Chain A
Amino acid sequence: MRNMRGDAMRGLAVFISDIRNCKSREAELRRINKELTNIRQRFRADKTLDGYQKKKYVCKLLFIFLLGHDIDFGYMEAVNLLSSNKYTEKQIGYLFISVIMNSSTEMKQLIIQNIRNDIQSRNPIFINLALQCVANIGDKEMATAFTHEIPRLLTSGDTIDPVKQSAALCLLRLHRTSPESLQLNTEWTARIIHLLNDQHLGVATAAVSLIDALVKRSPDEYKGCVNLAVSRLSRIVTSSYTDFQDYTYYFVPAPWLCVKLLRLLQNYPPPDDPSVRSRLNECLDTILNKAQEPLKSKKVQHSNARNAVLFEAINLIIHMDCESSLLVRACNQLGQFLQNRETNLRYLALESMCLLATSEFSHEAVKKHQETVINALKSERDVSVRQRAVDLLYAMCDRSNAEDIVQEMLTYLETADYTIREEMVLKIAILSEKYAVDYKWYLDIMLKLIRIAGDFVSEEVWYRVIQVVVNRSDVQSYAAKIAFEALQAPACHENMIKVAGYILGEYGNLIALDLRSTPMIQFDLLHSKYHLCSPTTRSLLLSTYMKFINLFPEIKQHIQDVLRHDSNYRSSDVEIQQRAIEYLRLSEICSPTVLATVLEIMPPYPEKQSPLLVRLKQKKPLMEAENNSEPSVTTTTTHTEDVPKFAETAIHLNQQQQQQQQQNGLLVSFDTIESNTHFGESTSYSLPSTITTTETTIQSSKKFLFKNSDIIFENDLLQIGIKGEATKHILRVEFYYGNKTNFNLTNISTNITLLDELESELRLNLEPIKPTIDPKAQIKQSGTIECLQEFRDLPKINFSFL
Chain B
Amino acid sequence: MIGGVFIYNHKGEVLISRVYRDDIGRNAVDAFRVNVIHARQQSRFPVVNIARTSFFYTKRSNIWLCAVAKQNINAAMVFEFLNKMIDIMQSYFGKISEENIKNNFVLIYELLDEILDFGYPQNSDTGVLKSFITQQGVRPITREEQTNVTSAVTGQIGWRREGIKYRRNELFLDVIESVNLLMSQQGQVLSTHVAGRVVMKSYLSGMPECKFGINDKITVDNRTKNPLDSTNINNNSTTNGSTNPSTTTGTTTTTKTAIAIDDCQFHQCVKLSKFESEHSISFIPPDGEFELMRYRTTKDISLPFRVIPLVREIGRTKMEVKVVVKSNFKPTLIGQKIEIRIPTPSNTCDVQLLCMKGKAKYKSSDNAIVWKMKRMGGMKESQLSAEIELLPNDKKKWNRPPISMNFEVPFAPSGFKVRYLKVFEHKLNYSDSDTVKWVRYIGKSGLYETRS
* A interface with B by C-beta (< 8 Å): 23-25, 30-31, 33-34, 36-38, 40-41, 43-44, 72-73
Contact = CB atoms under 8 A, between A and B. Distances in A.
A73 B347 contact: yes
Contact of A33 (B350, B364, B389, B391): B364
Contacts of B350: 41, 44
A415 to B, nearest CB: 35
A24 B10 contact: yes
Contact of A40 (B42, B347, B396): B347
A37 B42 contact: no
Contact of B366 (A30, A36, A40, A73): A30
B395 A34 contact: no
Contacts of B10: 23-24
B62 A40 contact: no
A37 B388 CA distance: 12
A31 B364 CA distance: 9
B366 A72 contact: no
Contacts of B347: 40, 72-73
Given A24-B10, A72-B396, A40 B391 contact: yes
B73 interface: no
8 contacts: A30-B365, A37-B364, A38-B364, A40-B348, A40-B349, A43-B349, A72-B395, A73-B391
B124 interface: no
Interface in B329-352: 346-350
B365 A73 contact: no
Contacts of A34: 364-365
A44 B390 CA distance: 9
B393 interface: yes
B367 interface: yes
Which A-B residue pairs are the 10 nearest by beta carbons? A37-B364, A30-B365, A40-B349, A34-B365, A34-B364, A41-B349, A40-B391, A72-B395, A33-B365, A24-B10
B98 to A, nearest CB: 9
Residue among A30, A31, A37, A44 with most chain B CB within 10 A: A37
Nearest to B40: A68
A73 B42 contact: no
A37 B346 CA distance: 8
A37 B393 contact: no
Contact of B393 (A25, A30, A41, A72): A72
B44 to A, nearest CB: 13
B348 A25 contact: no
A382 B365 CA distance: 57
A450 B239 CA distance: 94
Contacts of B42: 25
Interface in B361-388: 364-367
Contacts of A31: 365
B348 A37 contact: yes
A233 to B, nearest CB: 50
B14 to A, nearest CB: 17
Interface of B: 10, 42, 62, 346-350, 364-367, 389, 391, 393, 395-396
A23 B61 CA distance: 11
- Contact residues of B: prevailing secondary structure: loop
Contacts of A25: 42
Given A24-B10, A41-B349, A33 B366 contact: yes
Contacts of A43: 349, 391
Nearest to B350: A41
Given A37-B367, A73-B393, 16 more contacts: A23-B10, A23-B62, A31-B365, A33-B365, A33-B366, A33-B367, A34-B364, A34-B365, A37-B348, A37-B364, A38-B364, A40-B347, A40-B349, A40-B391, A43-B349, A72-B395
A73 B365 CA distance: 18
Contacts of A73: 347, 391, 393
A37 B391 CA distance: 10
B62 A24 contact: yes
Contacts of A40: 347-349, 391
Contact of A44 (B349, B367, B396): B349
A72 B42 CA distance: 23
Nearest to B42: A25
A73 B395 CA distance: 10
Contacts of B396: 72
A24 B61 CA distance: 10
B343 to A, nearest CB: 12
Contacts of A23: 10, 62
A46 to B, nearest CB: 10
Nearest to B367: A33
A27 to B, nearest CB: 9
A73 B348 CA distance: 12
Residue among B365, B367, B389 with most chain A CB within 10 A: B365
Given A37-B349, A73-B347, A44 B365 contact: no
A43 B42 CA distance: 31
A38 B350 CA distance: 9
Nearest to A30: B365
A37 B351 CA distance: 11
A23 B12 CA distance: 11
A206 B364 CA distance: 50
Residue among B346, B349, B396 with most chain A CB within 10 A: B349
A33 B365 CA distance: 5
A41 B391 CA distance: 8
A72 B347 CA distance: 9
Contacts of B389: 44
A54 to B, nearest CB: 15
Nearest to A24: B10
Contacts of A41: 349-350
Contacts of B364: 33-34, 36-38
Nearest to B349: A40
Contacts of B62: 23-24
Contacts of B367: 33, 37
Contacts of B393: 72-73
Residue among A40, A72, A73 with most chain B CB within 10 A: A40
Nearest to B11: A23
A689 B225 CA distance: 91
Contacts of B349: 37, 40-41, 43-44
A347 B387 CA distance: 73
Contacts of A37: 348-349, 364, 367
A73 B396 CA distance: 12
A277 B348 CA distance: 72
A37 B62 CA distance: 26
A140 B42 CA distance: 37
Contacts of B365: 30-31, 33-34
Nearest to A41: B349
A44 B391 contact: yes
Contacts of B366: 30, 33
Contacts of B346: 36
A80 to B, nearest CB: 16
A105 to B, nearest CB: 13
A414 B346 CA distance: 68
Nearest to B344: A37
A72 B395 CA distance: 7
A25 to B, nearest CB: 7
Contacts of B348: 37, 40
A25 B395 CA distance: 25
Contacts of B391: 40, 43-44, 73
A702 B393 CA distance: 72
A43 B346 CA distance: 15
A271 B378 CA distance: 101
Contacts of B395: 72
B295 to A, nearest CB: 32
Nearest to B395: A72
Nearest to A38: B364
A574 B188 CA distance: 65
Contacts of A36: 346, 364
A41 B346 CA distance: 13
B36 to A, nearest CB: 12
A24 B10 CA distance: 6
